Amino acid sequence: MSLARKQQHEEFETRNTRRAIIRSDRRELIGLRSELEFEFGSFEVTNYSATGIAVLVDTESSQFSPAETYTAIHKVGGIEVGSYKLSLARMDRNPAGEGMRIAFELKSQTIPIQKIQTVVKLCRVLNGIYESQEEMSRVPAEFRRITLEIKLGLENLEAQIEEMRAGKMHSSLQELESFESTVVPIVADHITEIFRVAYPKLEASLQGVPDEDLPICVKFFREQLRTLLYQSPFSQRSVAKPLGYSGDFEMMNIIYRNESLGTSLYAKCLHAYWLNHAEAKAVRNRSTYLAGVILRHIRAAAGAPIKISSIACGPSREVQTIIETSEAEGVDLSNCAFHLMDQDVNALKHAHERLWEAVHKTNSPVKLNLVNRAIRNVIARGWEERDFDLMYSAGLFDYFSDPVARMAAKVLFDLLKPGGTLVIGNFNLTTPNQFGMRLALDWSLIYRSEDTLKQLFGDLGGEVSIEREPEGVNLFCVIRKP
């Protein structure tokens, strides 16, 4: 009895059926010119294999004969890859369009497939370099200069900060936290000053640049500063847009938490820089503002049933605040019902977890209804819920054009009960970092002034007033239904 094991290949089987003659695969060159040069002309190569090659001719040509042997030079992307002895193998009509396809068989050597593949890769690399150079020539010289100046400055800052961090030995976590809490805000302020000076110059350098060249300038800026600007979880998420847009619920959570995040000391400084923007402060402020609005309405109801809705609710931080502080504020939530709507089911799942955690922690009697629906569906088909005492939308309308904003506001206003209130948040036209948000963060909003908001929503049939959070960045159009 033999203990020898079968070799792996001994277990392979093939079907015992007659097959066509097996040949090497035909290959095509896509996006790169390949041609055969004969003494009497050049013809485009349509495909090739190790032993044959096919070309395309405009019309059937008598110059190719089965009895002849031809010599041709094969070029790929203008680079010679081989010289072949060929004989005519087949001639038929081009299945992809007009003309004839002529296939040749090599009489001696084989086609150098590995060499062709290397040349193809090299041509694509070189073409990419040429295209990059051509693109760069369309970026204004002043824009390039300022961008590279920022790059050098941030590279030097990163190197110095990390060297400082590496040279500092800490005997306790408390000492490390004290060190970082001292360094981070100072460096964040320094980064703020760098861009406070640079952004107006960058924006001025783009004056007169054709619209079709602006994306090239943006691409240049982001590619040059990619490793320096996007180490922060905030900026990385804004540009990556994992949920399809910058201001998703996780981004709001990052802003609300305002934590020191980053895999290096420089990254933490950068993260603090972003979260110290007036826009980020305004988002934190608007949560406090909305909680105050909700609290006033609950108190005004004096124990009567009150129905409140948040449109594009996100993480619903303000509702969580109301639940957690209701006892301290002396308000009864037993007759209070929140209807939270968002098109992102993940945002609703997150809100559900946080809110029910607050409910169980405080034993709150509040009623919660989470609705997975987009505002455009409400505009088109309405909503079965109505007679709301308060409806608000904090971060939705500054993504809407004027016509869509008006339609959405009218639908929401009609869902209010008599005496109800609609609150629409919108970033102010005077918001300071608009250019930087577009250029660095790929985050574009529609900014509106107080007058624009009054004009946009003034004829809905309600009393209109404008309120704002402390930064003056986030405006709130408050519309009270008669």
287-302 residue pLDDT tens = 999 999 999 999 999 9
What is the rounded end-to-end Cα distance, in angstroms, of the chain?
A: 99
What pLDDT does 9 receive? Answer: 46
Please give the CATH number for the structural domain made up of 282-480.
3.40.50.150
What pLDDT does 291 receive? Answer: 97
Scanning the structure block, which residue is given the tokens 């007659």? Answer: 18
What pLDDT does 137 receive? Answer: 82
Q: Within the chain, which residues score under 50 in pLDDT?
A: 1-4, 8-10, 12, 14, 16-23
- Residue span(s) of the chain under CATH 3.40.50.150 come to 282-480
pTM: 0.77
Please give the CATH number for the structural domain made up of 34-133.
2.40.10
What pLDDT does 24 receive? Answer: 53
What pLDDT does 3 receive? Answer: 47
- Residue span(s) of the chain under CATH 2.40.10 come to 34-133
